[in-house]
Every structure is written in structure tokens, then in C-alpha cells.
Amino acid sequence: MNLAIVVYFLGWIMNLEALLMALPLVTGLIYREADWVYFGYVMLALATVGYLCTRKKPKNELFFAKEGFVCVSLGWVILSFFGSLPFYLSGAIGDFEDAMFEIISGFTTTGASVLADVEALSHSMLMWRSFTHWIGGMGVLVFILAIMPLAGSYNMHIMRAESPGPSVGKLVPRVKTTAKLLYIIYFSMTVAEVIALLIGGMPLFDAMCASFGTAGTGGFGIKALSMGYYDSAYLQGVVSVFMLLFGVNFNVYYLFLIRKPKDALRCEEARVYFAIVAASTALIAWNARHFFAGAWPALHHALFQVASIITTTGYSTVDFNLWPQFSKMILVALMFVGACAGSTGGGMKVSRILIGVKSVYNELASLVHPRSVKVVKLEHKAVEATVVRSVNAYFVVYFIIFAVSLLLISLDDFDFTTNFTAISATFNNIGPGLSMVGPMGSFGSFSPFSKVVMMFDMLAGRLEIFPMILLFLPSTWKKS
Amino acid sequence: MKIIIVGCGKVGMTLAAELNKDGHDITVIDKNPYAVTATTNNVDVLGLVGNGAVYNVQIEAGVAGADLLIACTDSDELNMLCCLIAKKAGDARTIARIRDPEYSSEIRYIRDELNLSMAINPEQAAAGEIAQLLRFPSAIKIDTFTRGRVEIMKFIVPEGSVLNDMRVQEVFSRLGRKVLICALERGEDVLIPSGPTFMRAGDKLSVLAQPGESMEFFRQVGIENNAVKTVLMVGGGKITYYLAKMLEETHIKIKIIEENADRCNFLSDALPKAMIIHGDGSSQELLLEEGIRQVEAFAALTGFDEENIMLSLYAATQSKAKLITKVNRIAFDNVVNALKLGSVIHPKRICADMILQYVRAMQNASGSNVKTLYKLTDNGGEALEFNVGKDFPGAGIPLEKLRLKNNLLVASINRKGKIITPSGKDTIEEGDTAIIVTTNAGLLDLKDILA
């Protein structure tokens, strides 16, 4: 374990966070709120520590997969720690564990909140809260890779550890250019959404917060009613379309950019993703039709909710907690599916499910024809055996962590639906669940211990489990 | 530039690493997924698993917009096919590794017909390097610049030499020779020496001089240099064949020990002047019988690195012959360099260097581009020859007023055929060629020497 280089990277993360805090600080100044100073203090602290860590590049530049994982997981923990300080110091959120929960929920693009009254927060706090979604959506280290003059073998290890999906590829030969391209796509789509919302008459501040939440597939609303506050089919429609778009594998957009629309449209994962969305929307609209005034409102709200849950955003237009059981179960199932690999969404990812289902099918076929040989294919290509293996391992670890977390938070003695959906909403980075943690509820009533469990789940969910688990393996820290 | 490399062996991987450092966008193709993963894990390049000679694979690798395709798989035919298809599919220049002697004899025809920009034969290149060393056995390595008018030679400072404990700046005043000490290796360190740097016995020095000058210099510092008259080679592979062919025209007596009877017959047929011995080259009796104690040069050129190293170590105990050891694997450079193996020849490194040189030269034909590039040491020292173009901002300014990068030396300037060993008052002018010695990798343009 080469700690020196890990510390060096962590220093850069702190420098970057100091820079990013300028946005809420400026917001505070614009709205003449007193709590901008807390951002100033934290920025100063970050910049000092960051400077000390990055003053000199360590001589030992050995950097392997292990260092990549540790950099990313520790980086996210540190990011969250400093990110929570403005909330805590300003007293906007009284308890430290609540502040941590809120900010981890932000960075991991979960959108689960412990706040009973969101609208009581100041503009700068709301901006920081939503902005963390945007930062966390594409990844902090990917951003560092895009802007920093770092060459060497480490960048691929970092990218692999931070980007979601069963196997991570590059768009172009260089990691730096790839990271840049991803951020350019991300940034332009966010701007497009802000503009679309402004056209619909949403105020700029709201439009920015809503877009950050959509782009990172986070879901922190700045109103108690979430998107239900904006009683406009246009605004809600824009948000549902963009949620769906941010849930698509960014490779598809790259293919459009380099004018290969045919290849883009052939993307198997995106096709399955849209098929799932269409089917779920139709079923929910039919099942919950009595709640709405007609077919169109039913379809509109069903689509919004489906898009919000499958992309793991977590916005809501209505309280779907009141919907019929069948519709709710579809939403719960979608929580696990998640968005496409290589998008900003969470969950298990469509491609992983596809690989899993196909390898199960192959297993079944080999029961009937014991000597048959079949490879798993995805995107018209054979999936390497190592990828299939890691997908299977992922499923196993996923369910173990899920079960253990469920067991741990059941100490609080809430009902099963609350517990089950609370874990699936945090572990899959969605936000709202059902019952007590439904779209109109909050996570505030859980005990501090349960909150810590869910904080771990959120980080593990965002970083796809393995980097977080490696932190707890003794062999990771051994000197080799 | 966009470069596609087919074949992720040692050559492919070395090229990918070096070219990536120079700032090119590289895609590598190999059939073996493990080779591709190994490369993409270590170097920031895009990997593609597949047969590089397949049109669709090349298209996926982006051959249509590529500037160069380098085919360096271990099959000559595959390499040629790759280049042929790349020519049809896009507008890239192509470089192929072609090593079979049967093809080499008609390499010109192949190159023209396949429209190759370069056909490289690592074994032939290695043989060329050995032949040069045999003509000047005291040097470990010889690189020539400016069409042979300037040489950089590497040698070890012998015990008891006048150079021992001499400062670099004193060389001219005490020996009266116009030579330039441009790199000094001590253990694993490489430094570009400045005036006050001391030289010690055992240091490996790279010295730049004009050919006549270097002979005298070597005599003065206590290095005997007589061209080799007899050479004993163990192993009758491709390098041996090429080397013997090259030496046939000289008066050097050649003896080749080869284990395989058929190969012996072939060599005897192809090399009428050489003496071919059929026997086990690793047998001490046979080596003694064939006069290992008397030969002036001994070359271990079998297919096994370990055997070559053992043979050379043994030869060192038996005679004072100039030793040449072929080592294929580059991986254990530092270990190999610590042994007394004489000149170590890495055919793959030579091959990669030649391709690198070509790529750097084609980079910007208009600017102050690299004409030739030589790796002086295995861990970073390079000598580069630049054409000085119009855009060089330091033209006409005395060198002492230019702010040059650290670890960098303007070693020689060639002005219309006149070789200048520059002092602080000299200038670099448009139209010159300048030789720069540095340990900073990735110099692409002459203006990169400015800090």
C-alpha cells in the first residue's frame, strides 16, 4: 500500500472541494445571507490541508488497482466529512450525524433527507445540498483526472474504481480526454435542462437546483412537495425526460457526438432500459388510473415516477405511497434495477441484470444439455468470463450487505416496509422509499446507529460496493 | 497523432509507452486479451482484442482517421497483411516488422509493393549494431549522427585511467582533445555532467566526438582499441546469420557454434567464408577447444537469455575478448546491467528505438523536428538530433544567454558540414542541425529545450 500517493490524491480532492464551495458561498452573498461565512471557513481549512498534502509529489509513484480503490473510497469519505461541516457549523442541521447523513446522501446522489422542513434552509445551504448531487453524479476523481496534469498508469485504476458498471472502458485512448468528454456531455446536458426549465417559467435558483438534482440523479428537492410544487405539466415533463436521459450510458451520447447514430441506437443496454421504462409506465398508469382525472395525467405521473425511481433520482410529483400495492411493488422492483452502466444513476445497473439473467439462462440450458457451451453476450459481443464472475460476486455481496443492513436497522423497531424500502432507497441511491420514508416523509426518525448503517450503504451503493469493502480488509493496509 | 499498434508484445508495449509519453493517441490491438489488459493497465492507451489484420477490427480501432499503423506481431505475414489492409482502409502510413531472412533479401520489393513507410528487421538492426562494436571494441555502444560525422561512444572508465578523479571541465586543458562528455552513468543514476563534475573509474561515460578525435582520446585515457580480427559466435540464429553476412566483406575470421545439424548445413551453405562448428555451445570443453581463450571477440547469440548471460560470464573468466551478449527480455534491465556482460544487445529495444525515431521525425516535418534519436542509457538518457527550423525562438542567441532546461546539454552543432562543439558564445542558427543530450523524456521540438 503506497500511502504517500494516496494522501497526495486526497489532498487534490480537498483542493477541489474548496474550489467547489465557491458556488454556495457566492449564492449566500447574492441572497445576503449570513451563513456564507461558514463556507469561507471550511474552504480555508480545506485549502490549507489540501496544500500541505499536495505540496510535494511523492517519489514512490507505484500505483495499482488497490491504491485506486482506496483513493476513491477514502476520497469520498473525506469529501463528505468536509462537505457536512457548513451544515453543522451554521447550525442548519443540529446533529453531526444528521449533517453527515444529509451530505453523504447528496454526494452519493441518493437524495434521502433527514430534514423535516426543507424550506427552512437558507439559499446557500440549499444550493450546496443540490450541488453535491452534481459533483457526485459523474465523480470527483474523474473530474480531477479531466483537469489535472496527471500522467501515468494510475488514472485507469481510479476511473475504474469510481465509474459505475460491470466493466469500464474508455471512449478515446486517453483517460484525460475521456474524462473531459464525459464532463463536457454532462455539463452541456445540465445547461440544456436549466434553459428548458427557465423557458417554462421556473426561477433561476430553482432551475439550477432541480437540474443539479436531475443530472446527478440525486433528487434533493428544495420544496417540501418536491416536484409536486411546480404545478406545470411542462416543467414536470422536462424533468422526467432529463432524468431518463441522464440514466442512459454516456457512451451512447459519445457515439452520437462522433456521428455514429446507428451504433448509438444499437446499444442493447439502453434499449432494454427504455423497454423497462415503457412497460412499467403502462402498467402503473393502468393500475393507478383511479387516482387521476384521465389517461393523460395518469401516464404523466406514472412516467415521472418510473423515471425518477429507475434512474435512482427520487423526485416525486405525487405521494406514490398512497398508490395501489401493485404499482408500489413495480416501483420497488425498479429500485433494484437501476439505470444504465456509465450513467450517473445508481442501483444494480441494467447491464449487470442483463449479464446475470443471461448467465442464469445459460446455466439452465446446460442442465438440459450438459455438454453445451454458451458464452454470455452483451452489446453483440461476448462478455469475458472474468466480468461474468465479478457480476455474480457483486450480486452475492449486494444481497449480503442488504440483509445485514436490514437486520441492523430493524433494531429501531419500525415496520417492515419502512425498513426494507429505507435500505433499498439508500443502498440504491434513490432517496424516498415507502411508508414512513415515503416521498412526503423523512429519515429523521431513525436512530444515529441506523443512520451510520445507511451512510455506509449509500457510499457502498455509489461506489459499487467493492471499493468500500476493501477499506475494511486488513490485507489492503499491509505493507507489501 | 493517432497511432494504431498491432501486437502487444515487448516491442508493442515499449512503443505504446514511449509514444504515449510523447503525447500521441494510441490504440493497441492484440488477439490475446491478457496482453491487451496488461498494456492498458500500464499505459494510458485504448485496447482492442481482435485480429489486427481484420478490416472490421481496424475500422473499430479508427484506422480511417489514423496517421500511422505499426504492425509488430511475431508473424511477418500477419504484419504485412495488417499494413496492406490499413492502406486500403485508410490513409495511414504503415510500419511493419519483417524479420525472416527470406523476406529481408527482397525487402525493397516488399516495401514498395505494400507501400510501407518502413520495414524493420530487429535482428538485422541488432547485427548492424554488433558489427559496429566489433570495429570499435572498446566502446559499449556507438551511435552515429550527421551521417557518421559525429559519434557518441559509451565506454567504462578503466582503473588507473587519467580520467579517474578528473573534472569534466579539465578534459580539454589536460588532454587537448575536443571531446564532450555528455552523459555519465554511475550505478543506476544517469546524469548530464556539468564542468565541476568528477569522473571516476567504473563510470560509464558517453562521449561525443568526431571519429578521428575519439581514437586519440581513447588512446590517451588508457583504452586500447584494435579492431577485432577473430570472433566466436555461439548460436546460429538470425542475428548470427545477418552479422556473419555483414562481416564477410571484412577480414574478420568468423567461427559459429550451433547445435542443430540442419541449421549448420544451412549456415555453411549461406556463409562460405565462416567456419561452422556443430556442437553444444554451452560445453566448456568445446569452447576451450575452439579457442575461447584466444579469440578477440565473443558473441553469445543463442535463443535463451540465461544461456547467453552464463556464456558471457564464463568467457569473461577465460579471456579478455570483447563480449557481446544478446538479451531478449528487457524486463530485468537493471540486473543485467549490473553483470559484466560487455555490450548487451536488446534486439527488441533497438527495434522500438528505430520506430520511435521514425515517428518523431514524421511528427512535424516543417518545424524544428527530431531527425534522429538515440537512447544513450536504459534509464532515461537520450541524444536527439534536431533540424533547426524557422520557428526556433532561440536562433541567433548565444547559448550562455538562453535559459535551457536542467539536465540538458547542447552537445554539437553542424553548420553546413562544419562540426561545432559549442561553448557559451556559440549560437544555434536556422538551417543547422543540433545534437541535444538530455535525461528529460519527450522532447519533440527544439524549442522544448528552453526552460
pLDDT digits (tens, 9 = 90+) for B1-46: 899 999 998 889 888 988 888 788 999 999 998 898 888 888 888 8
Whether B25 and A151 lie within 8 Å, measured CB to CB: no
Whether A156 and B46 lie within 8 Å, measured CB to CB: no
Q: Which of B41, B42, B45 sits opposite A173 (nearest CB)?
A: B45
**Distance (Å, whole) CA B286 – CA A442:** 88
**Distance (Å, whole) CA B358 – CA B366:** 15
Q: Extract the runs of DSSP E, i.e. beta strands, from A170-289.
A: none
All residues at 6 or more sequence positions from B47 whose CB lies less than 8 Å from its CB, including other chains: B8, B27, B28, B29, B30, B36, B37, B39, B40
Contacts 24+ apart (CB under 8 A), B175-179: B175/B217, B175/B220, B175/B221, B177/B209, B177/B213, B177/B216, B177/B217, B177/B220, B178/B209, B178/B210, B178/B213, B178/B421, B179/B207, B179/B208, B179/B209, B179/B213, B179/B214, B179/B217
pLDDT digits (tens, 9 = 90+) for B223-265: 776 778 899 999 989 999 999 988 887 788 999 999 999 999 9
Q: Are A275 and A356 in contact (CB under 8 A)?
A: no
What value does the mean pLDDT take over residues B384-408?
82
Q: What 8-state DSSP symbol labels residue B272?
A: T
DSSP assignment string, A123-164 = HHHHHHHHHHHHHHHH-HHHHHHHHS---STHHHHHHHHHS-
Could you confirm whether domain B357-449 is CATH 3.40.718.10? no
Task: Name the band, by pLDDT with cuts 50, 70 and 90, for residue B368.
Answer: low
pLDDT digits (tens, 9 = 90+) for B255-306: 999 999 999 999 999 888 899 999 998 888 899 888 888 888 999 999 899 9
All residues at 6 or more sequence positions from A217 whose CB lies less than 8 Å from its CB, including other chains: A109, A133, A137, A243, A246, A247, A311, A312, A313, A339, A343, A344, A345, A346, A429
- Model pLDDT, residue B366: 47
With 0-12 / 13-18 / 19 or more C-beta atoms within 10 angstroms meaning exposed / middle / buried, residue B132 is middle
**Distance (Å, whole) CA B313 – CA A132:** 64
**Distance (Å, whole) CA A96 – CA A93:** 8
**Distance (Å, whole) CA A227 – CA A316:** 6
Single out the residue of A401, A362, A365, A394 nearest to residue A378, CA to CA. A362
- Flag whether residue A175 sits within 8 Å of chain B, measured between CB atoms: yes
Chain B residue with minimum CA distance to A175 = B44
- Model pLDDT, residue B367: 53
Cβ atoms within 10 Å, residue B164: 17
HSE-up (13 A, CA, CB side) for residue A345 = 33
Q: In Å, how far is A285's CA from the nearest CA of chain B?
A: 43
Per CB-CB distance under 8 Å, the chain A contacts of B27 are 173
Across the A:B interface, residue pairs with CB atoms under 8 Å apart total: 28
With 0-12 / 13-18 / 19 or more C-beta atoms within 10 angstroms meaning exposed / middle / buried, residue A143 is buried
Q: In Å, how far is A168's CA from the nearest CA of chain B?
A: 12
Q: What 8-state DSSP symbol labels residue A196?
A: H
Q: Extract the runs of DSSP E, i.e. beta strands, from B55-100.
A: 68-71, 93-97
Whether B42 and A153 lie within 8 Å, measured CB to CB: yes
Please check whether the two domains, B2-120 and B230-345, share a CATH topology: yes
CA angle A455, A246, A283 (to 5 degrees): 90
Q: Ramachandran region of residue A109, left (φ > 0), alpha (ψ -120 to 50) or beta?
A: left
Q: Are B151 and B143 in contact (CB under 8 A)?
A: yes
End-to-end CA distance of chain A: 7
Whether B44 and A384 lie within 8 Å, measured CB to CB: no
All residues at 6 or more sequence positions from A104 whose CB lies less than 8 Å from its CB, including other chains: A80, A84, A110, A455, A458, A459
What is the separation of C-alpha A40 from the centre of its chain, rounded to a whole number of angstroms? 27
Edge-to-edge, what's the strand order for the sheet holding B230-234? Answer: B275-278, B253-258, B230-234, B297-300, B322-326, B343-345
Q: In Å, how far is A91's CA from the nearest CA of chain B?
A: 46
Edge-to-edge, what's the strand order for the sheet holding B189-191? Answer: B141-145, B150-156, B204-209, B180-186, B189-191
Chain A residue with minimum CA distance to B2 = A173
Chain B residue with minimum CA distance to A155 = B44
Whether A174 and B44 lie within 8 Å, measured CB to CB: yes
Single out the residue of A197, A222, A461 nearest to residue A346, CA to CA. A461
- Model pLDDT, residue A150: 61
| Residue B384, C-alpha cell as written in the block | 536527439
Per CB-CB distance under 8 Å, the chain A contacts of B40 are 156
Q: In Å, how far is A172's CA from the nearest CA of chain B?
A: 7
Whether A177 and B25 lie within 8 Å, measured CB to CB: yes
Q: Are A39 and A124 in contact (CB under 8 A)?
A: yes
- Model pLDDT, residue A190: 96
Whether A172 and B40 lie within 8 Å, measured CB to CB: no
Q: How do the domains of chain B map onto residue ranges?
A: 2-120, 230-345, 357-449
Per CB-CB distance under 8 Å, the chain A contacts of B5 are none
Q: Are A132 and A104 in contact (CB under 8 A)?
A: no
Percent of chain B with pLDDT over 70: 97
Q: Which of A152, A153, A173 sits opposite B25 (nearest CB)?
A: A173
Per CB-CB distance under 8 Å, the chain A contacts of B21 are 151
- Model pLDDT, residue A21: 94
Interface residue ranges in chain B relative to chain A, Cβ cutoff 8 Å? 21, 25-27, 33, 40-46
Whether A155 and B25 lie within 8 Å, measured CB to CB: no
Chain B residue with minimum CA distance to A65 = B41
Whether A175 and B42 lie within 8 Å, measured CB to CB: no
**CATH: 3.60.150.10, 3.30.70.20, 3.40.50.720, 3.40.1350.10. Which one for B230-345?**
3.40.50.720
Q: Which of B42, B44, B46 sits opposite A151 (nearest CB)?
A: B44
List A residues 133-172 in contact with B (Cβ-Cβ < 8 A): 151-153, 155-157, 170, 172
- Flag whether residue A61 sits within 8 Å of chain B, measured between CB atoms: no
Q: In Å, how far is A152's CA from the nearest CA of chain B?
A: 7
Q: In Å, how far is B186's CA from the nearest CA of chain A?
A: 20
Chain B residue with minimum CA distance to A62 = B42
- Model pLDDT, residue A74: 92
pLDDT (tens place) for every residue of chain A, 480 residues total? 788 888 988 998 999 999 999 999 999 999 999 889 999 999 999 999 999 998 888 877 777 888 888 888 999 999 999 999 999 999 888 899 999 999 999 999 998 999 888 888 999 999 999 999 999 988 888 887 777 766 555 677 777 777 776 766 777 888 888 888 889 999 999 999 999 999 999 999 999 999 999 999 988 988 888 888 988 899 999 999 999 999 999 989 998 988 888 888 888 999 999 999 999 999 999 999 888 888 899 999 999 999 999 999 989 888 888 899 999 999 999 999 999 988 888 889 999 999 999 999 988 988 998 888 888 888 888 888 888 888 999 999 999 999 999 999 999 999 999 999 999 999 999 988 898 898 888 898 999 999 999 999 999 999 888 888 888 888 888 765
Q: In Å, how far is B226's CA from the nearest CA of chain A?
A: 45
pLDDT digits (tens, 9 = 90+) for B397-447: 888 888 888 888 888 888 887 888 887 788 888 888 888 888 877 677 777
Whether A384 and B21 lie within 8 Å, measured CB to CB: no
Chain B residue with minimum CA distance to A384 = B33
Q: In Å, how far is A337's CA from the nearest CA of chain B?
A: 29
Answer whether residue B170 shows pLDDT above 70. Answer: yes
Q: In Å, how far is A341's CA from the nearest CA of chain B?
A: 19
Q: Which of A151, A156, A170 sits opposite B41 (nearest CB)?
A: A156
**Distance (Å, whole) CA B57 – CA A336:** 36
Q: What 8-state DSSP symbol labels residue B397?
A: S
The CA-atom distances, in angstroms, between B400 and each of B193, B195, B409, B428 are 16, 14, 12, 11
Could you confirm whether domain B2-120 is CATH 2.60.120.10? no
All residues at 6 or more sequence positions from B382 whose CB lies less than 8 Å from its CB, including other chains: B373, B374, B375, B376, B437, B438, B439, B441, B443
- Flag whether residue A435 sits within 8 Å of chain B, measured between CB atoms: no
Substitution target from A153, A262, A263 for chain B, most B beta carbons within 10 A: A153
Per CB-CB distance under 8 Å, the chain A contacts of B68 are none
Which secondary structure element, helix H or strand E, spans residue B437, and what is its range? strand B433-438
Whether A156 and B44 lie within 8 Å, measured CB to CB: yes
Task: Name the band, by pLDDT with cuts 50, 70 and 90, for residue B204.
Answer: confident
Q: Which of B33, B43, B46 sits opposite A153 (nearest CB)?
A: B43
Q: In Å, how far is B355's CA from the nearest CA of chain A?
A: 20
Amino acid at B13: M
| 3-class SS string, B25-40 | EEEEEECCHHHHHHHH
Amino acid at B78: L
As beta bridge partners, residue B231 has: B254, B297
What value does the mean pLDDT take over residues B44-52?
89
Single out the residue of B345, B346, B303, B340 nearest to residue B319, CA to CA. B340
**Distance (Å, whole) CA A92 – CA A86:** 8
